[in-house]
């Protein structure tokens, strides 16, 4: 094969192309004069932008002495940045100043700049622990903003938080009324009105405009932007953060929340009546008489590492468009800033109590109609200390459930008596499982024993157990109330601080969960033997005896791990509950249920004509027969 070589013509072509490219680059290179002109142009643009920012900052914070209402030159200068609201910067109130209003429960500090609350202090509650000397502050150090994004008729976008409002404080009867007005002229303004009543957590909060139809573009709603970075107020930041979330009411009678954990959790409900920025035991709730047609609610978790992130728990944001009516804004609203206490929230008759997580369905009913009234009666009406109230409360609940406990144990006793007969049937029909099941059901019917009787009482007790898991973490009454070694029944009762952290367990040892775990162990040890004797092993079914042996150790271990950082009140309830159950079972077993008498009764029942099977037994029999027929058909098909 002839070797390919680069000929002279190819070389000349490459040289010419390279020369042309160099010439094009040289010809298009700007001259020194052009470079200097371009540089000067960029510097001028940068200087103008910097000057514009400086002018904006200067006019936004312009003191009253710099401009007077009659100074038309200065007013014209301000109009370049503030448009129709330039007048507000000419007033004496255009300065860093604050107005404080307070009652027996609340102290609020409202800024001239932005017209919104910059400090909200609850005067009756302390942070972290009783006696800390630090009051609960829901708002402070710029952790909250309330802003209206104003679109003007001259195509400007202004933020109310950057503009100065004029305050006017007056007393109407016993109410303090603070009017904050962002003025476009003497009689044209945007107004925030705060109404604080004596001894109340609820603040009237109205937003309205007057004569601004020439200033504001009413083609689109005004966006109310509200955000809150929630401060930690409790001993355990992780436990408090677990219950921090945005709750809201929408479409007249529906309630929901923005997911408690994670980043960028967002909901967009319609016709919203209230939005609650709920921490654990405190909340800031914005409610409105005229629902917000649309909304955007967002929650971000700020606790990544509870050892480091100890100041804040969540970042809440709400965007709530305010619609114009006849060219003006007019919303009558309320701000609740106070405890997440069921009685307090319920008293306002605004459905605020829905933000308390008492559970859904039957669990919520048990809490609302049994647990809340009973515990309130014991702790408030009678005046028992909270620890004693929990103990008495537990005793009452367990005694009320004792007939169900008795029914369950009686059923187990009857099944225990029948166990030898059931074992005999199992041996006799071990090659015919279906026949074994049929004969077993006949035995139950003849002896007058319902195999489901032991399960139903246990199922009835389950909702009460789950309801308690919802009730105690939500019980505001327990906050900072001490009992024995626990200094706060709403938080963990640490007796030992560990120098290290155990995953899932924590860096401390709580005593009440240990006591509850011991009580659960002995309760399960006491009852597992009877349950194993009462429930013979069924072919094809799991070995319940082995499962129960495992659960004897697993259940206490779970109590130790998961309840170590839970509130001491819930662990105390479980400890007392299991102690009482052990006592009730002991009395029933030794003094009420007579095994010999039960055995004699069952033997007597066997001699009688069997009762007509119940509908459940009939249905179960039919299902078994259908299964047997299906198996037979399948076997015949294989033979063919």
Residues 601 and 537 in one domain: yes
CA separation, residue 588 to residues 103, 354, 591, 633 (Å):
57, 41, 6, 49
- Partnered with residue 190 across adjacent β-strands are 182, 209
Contact present, 309 and 289 (Cβ < 8 Å): no
pLDDT at res. 5: 45
Structure tokens at 554: 């697993």
Q: End-to-end distance of the chain based on CA atoms, in angstroms?
A: 75
pLDDT at res. 602: 67
Residues 252 and 194 in one domain: yes
Contact present, 118 and 109 (Cβ < 8 Å): yes
C-alpha atoms less than 13 angstroms from C-alpha of 265 in its C-beta half-sphere: 18
In angstroms, the CA 253 to CA 20 distance is 78
* Structural domain includes residue 68: no
Residues 601 and 620 in one domain: no
Confidence of residue 555 (pLDDT cuts 50, 70, 90): confident
Residues 115 and 239 in one domain: yes
Among 310, 329, 353, residue at a domain's last position: 353
Residues 407 and 529 in one domain: yes
Name the more confident of 155 and 599: 155
For the ranges 101-110, 321-330, 373-382, 545-554, the lowest mean pLDDT is seen at 545-554
Name the more confident of 147 and 448: 147
Total domains present in the chain: 3
Residues 347 and 396 in one domain: no
Residues 505 and 566 in one domain: yes
Burial pattern 104-121, b for ≥16 Cβ within 10 A else e, equals ebbbbbbbbbbbbbbbbb
Check: pTM over 0.85? Answer yes or no: no
CATH of the domain at 311: 2.70.98.90
In angstroms, the CA 246 to CA 295 distance is 13
> 238-260, pLDDT tens digit by residue?
899 999 999 999 998 899 998 76
> 46-93, pLDDT tens digit by residue?
555 555 455 444 444 444 334 454 466 666 777 777 888 989 988 999
pLDDT at res. 342: 94
In angstroms, the CA 447 to CA 100 distance is 79
Contact present, 246 and 299 (Cβ < 8 Å): yes
| DSSP, res 483 | B
pLDDT at res. 473: 93
User: Would you put residue 628 in left (φ > 0), alpha (ψ -120 to 50) or beta?
Assistant: alpha
Dihedral in degrees, nearest 10, Cα atoms 301, 304, 310, 313: 10
Contact present, 250 and 270 (Cβ < 8 Å): yes
Q: Is the pLDDT of residue 396 over 60?
A: yes
Confidence of residue 541 (pLDDT cuts 50, 70, 90): very low
> 307-316, pLDDT tens digit by residue?
888 899 999 9
Query: The tokens 């994004």 sit on which residue?
Result: 149
* Structural domain includes residue 144: yes
* Structural domain includes residue 48: no
pLDDT at res. 145: 94
* Structural domain includes residue 358: no
Owning domain of residue 147 = 88-353
Residues 133 and 166 in one domain: yes
pLDDT at res. 42: 55
* Structural domain includes residue 572: yes
Residue 519's SS3 state is helix
The residues, any chain, with a CB within 8 Å of residue 60's CB and separated by 6 or more, are 81, 82, 89, 162, 163
Among 323, 353, 383, residue at a domain's last position: 353
Residues 591 and 621 in one domain: no
In angstroms, the CA 493 to CA 509 distance is 8
Among 324, 353, 382, residue at a domain's last position: 353
Supply the mean pLDDT for the chain. Answer: 82
Query: The tokens 């059931």 sit on which residue?
Result: 422
Confidence of residue 605 (pLDDT cuts 50, 70, 90): low
Confidence of residue 525 (pLDDT cuts 50, 70, 90): confident
Question: What is the distance of C-alpha 85 from the center of its chain?
Answer: 40
In the chain, DSSP finds a helix count (H) and a strand count (E) of 15, 21
* Structural domain includes residue 205: yes
pLDDT at res. 628: 64
Residues 520 and 631 in one domain: no
> 450-496, pLDDT tens digit by residue?
666 656 666 777 888 889 999 999 999 999 999 999 999 999 999 99
pLDDT at res. 4: 42
Residues 349 and 480 in one domain: no
* Structural domain includes residue 74: no
Confidence of residue 405 (pLDDT cuts 50, 70, 90): confident
Residues 548 and 633 in one domain: no
* Structural domain includes residue 69: no
DSSP string covering 13-80: HHHHHHHHHHHHHHHHSPPHHHHHHHHHHHHHHHHHHHHHHHHHHHHHT--GGG--TT-HHHHHHHHH
């Amino acid at each position: 094969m002839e070797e390919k070589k680069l000929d002279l013509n190819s070389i000349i072509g490459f040289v010419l192309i390279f020369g042309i490219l160099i010439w094009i680059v040289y010809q298009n290179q700007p001259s020194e004069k052009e470079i200097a002109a371009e540089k000067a142009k960029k510097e001028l643009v940068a200087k103008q932008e910097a000057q514009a920012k400086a002018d904006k900052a200067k006019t936004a914070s312009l003191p009253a002495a710099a401009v007077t209402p009659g100074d038309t030159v200065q007013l014209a200068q301000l109009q370049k940045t503030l448009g129709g609201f330039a007048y507000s910067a000419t007033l004496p109130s255009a300065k860093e100043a604050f107005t404080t209003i307070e009652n027996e429960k609340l102290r609020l500090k409202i800024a001239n700049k932005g017209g919104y609350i910059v400090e909200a202090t609850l005067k009756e509650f302390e942070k972290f622990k009783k006696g800390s000397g630090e009051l609960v502050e829901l708002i402070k150090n710029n952790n909250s903003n309330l802003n209206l994004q104003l679109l003007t008729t001259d195509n400007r976008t202004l933020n109310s938080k950057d503009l100065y409002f004029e305050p006017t404080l007056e007393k109407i009867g016993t109410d303090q009324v603070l009017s904050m007005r962002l003025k476009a002229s003497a009689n044209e303004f945007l107004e925030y009105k705060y109404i604080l009543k004596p001894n109340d957590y609820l603040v009237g909060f109205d937003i309205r405009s007057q004569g601004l139809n020439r200033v504001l573009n009413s083609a689109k709603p005004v966006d109310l932007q509200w955000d809150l970075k929630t401060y930690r107020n409790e001993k355990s930041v992780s436990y408090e953060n677990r219950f921090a979330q945005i709750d809201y009411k929408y479409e007249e009678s529906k309630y929901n929340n923005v997911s408690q954990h994670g980043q960028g959790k967002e909901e967009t409900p319609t016709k919203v009546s209230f939005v609650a920025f709920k921490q654990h035991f405190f909340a800031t709730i914005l409610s409105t008489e005229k629902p917000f047609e649309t909304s955007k609610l967002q929650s971000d978790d700020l606790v990544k590492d509870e050892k480091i992130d100890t100041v804040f728990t969540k970042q809440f944001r709400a965007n709530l468009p305010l619609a114009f009516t006849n060219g003006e804004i007019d919303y009558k609203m309320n701000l609740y800033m106070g405890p997440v206490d069921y009685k307090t929230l319920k008293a306002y008759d605004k459905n605020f109590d829905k933000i308390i997580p008492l559970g859904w369905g039957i669990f919520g009913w048990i809490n609302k109609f049994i647990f809340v009234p009973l515990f309130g009666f014991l702790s408030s009406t009678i005046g028992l200390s909270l620890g004693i109230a929990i103990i008495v409360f537990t005793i009452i609940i367990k005694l009320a459930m004792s007939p169900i406990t008795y029914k369950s144990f009686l059923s187990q006793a009857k099944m225990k008596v029948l166990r030898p007969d059931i074992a005999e049937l199992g041996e006799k029909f071990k090659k015919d499982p279906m026949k074994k099941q049929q004969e077993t059901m006949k035995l139950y019917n003849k002896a007058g024993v319902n195999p489901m009787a032991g399960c139903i009482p246990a199922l009835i007790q389950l909702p009460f157990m789950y309801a308690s898991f919802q009730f105690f973490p939500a019980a505001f009454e327990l906050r900072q109330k001490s009992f024995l070694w626990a200094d706060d029944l709403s938080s963990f009762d640490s007796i030992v601080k560990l120098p290290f952290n155990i995953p899932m367990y924590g860096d401390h040892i709580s005593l009440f969960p240990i006591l509850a775990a011991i009580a659960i162990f002995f309760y399960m040890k006491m009852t597992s033997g009877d349950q194993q004797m009462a429930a013979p092993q069924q072919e094809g079914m799991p070995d319940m005896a082995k499962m129960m042996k495992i659960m004897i150790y697993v259940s206490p271990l779970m109590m130790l791990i998961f309840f170590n950082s839970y509130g001491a009140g819930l662990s105390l309830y479980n400890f007392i509950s299991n102690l009482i159950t052990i006592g009730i079972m002991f009395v029933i077993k030794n003094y009420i249920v007579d095994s010999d008498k039960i055995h004699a009764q069952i033997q007597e029942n066997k001699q009688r004509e069997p009762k007509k099977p119940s509908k459940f037994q009939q249905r179960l029999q039919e299902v078994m027969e259908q299964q047997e027929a299906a198996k037979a058909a399948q076997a015949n098909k294989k033979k063919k």
